[in-house]
């Protein structure tokens, strides 16, 4: 199965269970974007499937205007690239 992109809000405890993650790794990204091959989890949490471009736009919009405040990148705009399927 290929990696898929989803958008949904983390509802807290039980949002991702051990069994969910054992079935297929679920990774969270900025903008409430999630990547996984676990379609059963996505259906359970009512996640909306997105294309790579749609998911990347959500991630980028969530970071728009945010800057690193410390470290070697201080003053630089934050960027984030989703893994490609």
Concatenating the DSSP letter of every residue in the chain gives: ---EEEE----STTSS-HHHHHHS--EEETTTEEEES-HHHHHHTTPEEE-HHHHHHHHHHHHTT-B--SSTTTTSBP---PPP-
Is residue 56 scored above 90 in pLDDT?
yes
The confidence band for 38, taking pLDDT boundaries of 50, 70 and 90, is very high
* For the chain, domain boundaries: 4-63
The 10s digit of each residue's pLDDT in 19-30 is 999 999 999 999
Tens-digit pLDDT profile for residues 5-17: 999 999 999 999 9
């Amino acid at each position: 199965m290929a990696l898929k992109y989803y958008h949904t809000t983390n509802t807290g405890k039980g949002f991702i269970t051990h069994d969910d993650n054992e079935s297929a790794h679920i990774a969270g990204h900025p903008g409430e974007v999630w990547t996984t091959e676990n379609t059963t989890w996505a259906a359970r949490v009512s996640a909306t499937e997105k294309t790579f471009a749609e998911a990347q736009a959500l991630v980028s919009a969530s970071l728009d205007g945010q800057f690193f405040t410390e470290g070697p990148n201080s003053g630089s705009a934050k960027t984030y690239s989703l893994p490609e399927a």
